[in-house]
């Protein structure tokens, strides 16, 4: 083989290798990507909600995500808005969808509270740290989710639902958090949400 032919073969190989690296798998190739397109309307691309009222799903533990979807679908976590979507997730493939969201880099909420509210929330969060930890990152082994960087409006709503026993009513695994929330004044909810939303 002549020198010119050798150079052409090497050049062709480099083109193929370069094309191969350009076609390397990315987040759009994940088996759950197309199954989550309906979710992005409310929860944002990749589950990074830009809203104060919609929870961030990116980086969420897959097992925790699956339990919430199953509870929504079964009516155990009552929500007229989420129940039909949860049933759709089960039909599409909950494992792929949960894995997709778990794999996405989490971008903390852009909705930051006032410094004074964050400071009050930090003080008020002492009882919450027993389960959610001093950094708000929860305990995945116990099914306790991370609150760090979560949408503040969503957190306020969930605290109220826990206090009123309207989130997973009758669920024995949530008795402790519901009992705790009954001791927290409603006026402290926005401060707690501002604090947890501010954690990075």
For residues 148 and 123, what is the distance between their CA atoms, to the nearest angstrom? Answer: 16
pTM (two decimals)? 0.83
**What mean pLDDT value characterizes the chain?**
89
Phi, psi of 139 (to 5 degrees): -145, 100
Same domain, yes or no: 83 and 38? yes
In sign, the C-alpha dihedral spanning 159, 165, 167, 172 is: positive
83 and 128 co-located in one domain:
no
H-helix or E-strand containing 5? helix 3-22
Q: Are residues 187 and 119 located together in one domain of the fold?
A: yes
End-to-end CA distance of the chain: 60
Q: What angle do CA 128, 131, 137 make, to 5 degrees?
A: 90
Indicate whether 100 pLDDT > 80. Answer: yes
**Res 3: pLDDT:** 58
Q: What is the number of structural domains in the chain?
A: 2
Report the C-alpha gap between 34 and 61 in whole angstroms: 20
User: Is position 141 within any domain?
Assistant: yes
Does 14 fall in a domain?
no
Contact assessment for residue 139 and residue 192, using Cβ atoms and an 8 Å cutoff: no
The residue from 103, 130, 156 where one domain ends is 103
The answer to whether residues 127 and 165 belong to one domain is: yes
Which residue is listed with tokens 């826990």? 162
Does 17 map to a domain?
A: no
Last residue of a domain, one of 71, 103, 135: 103
Residue-number span of the structural domain to which 170 is assigned:
115-198
61 pLDDT higher than 50? yes
Can you tell me the distance from the alpha carbon of 185 to that of 73, in angstroms, rounded to the nearest whole number?
31
Evaluate whether residue 2 is within a structural domain.
no
Asked whether residue 157 is assigned to any structural domain, the reply reads: yes
Of the given ranges (16-30, 87-101, 159-173), which has the lowest mean pLDDT?
16-30
Domain's final residue, options 68, 103, 138: 103
Structure letter (DSSP) for residue 173: G
One domain for residues 96 and 124: no
pLDDT-based confidence at residue 20 (cuts at 50, 70, 90):
very low
Residue 28 has pLDDT above 80, yes or no: no
Q: The domain spanning residue 74 has which CATH number?
A: 1.10.760.10
| 20 occurs within a structural domain | no
Same domain, 124 and 186: yes
Residues 175, 181: Cα–Cα separation, whole Å: 10
**Greater model confidence, 123 or 16:** 123
Q: Are residues 73 and 131 in the same domain?
A: no
């Amino acid at each position: 083989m002549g020198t010119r032919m050798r150079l052409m073969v090497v050049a062709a190989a480099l083109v193929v290798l370069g094309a191969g690296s350009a076609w390397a798998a990315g987040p759009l190739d994940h088996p759950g990507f197309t199954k989550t397109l309906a979710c992005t309307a409310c929860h944002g691309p990749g589950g990074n909600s830009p809203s104060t009222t919609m929870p961030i799903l990116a980086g969420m533990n897959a097992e925790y995500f699956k339990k919430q979807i199953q509870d929504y679908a079964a009516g155990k976590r009552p929500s007229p808005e989420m129940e039909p979507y949860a049933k759709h997730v089960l039909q599409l493939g909950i494992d792929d969808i949960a894995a997709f969201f778990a794999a996405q880099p989490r971008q903390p909420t852009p909705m930051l509270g006032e410094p004074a509210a964050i400071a009050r929330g930090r003080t008020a969060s002492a009882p919450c740290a027993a389960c959610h930890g001093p950094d708000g990152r929860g305990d995945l082994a116990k099914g306790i989710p991370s609150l760090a960087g979560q949408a503040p409006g969503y957190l306020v709503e969930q605290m109220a639902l826990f206090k009123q026993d309207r989130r997973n009513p009758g669920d024995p695994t949530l008795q402790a958090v519901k009992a705790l929330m009954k001791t927290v004044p409603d006026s402290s909810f926005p401060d707690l949400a501002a604090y947890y939303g501010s954690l990075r």
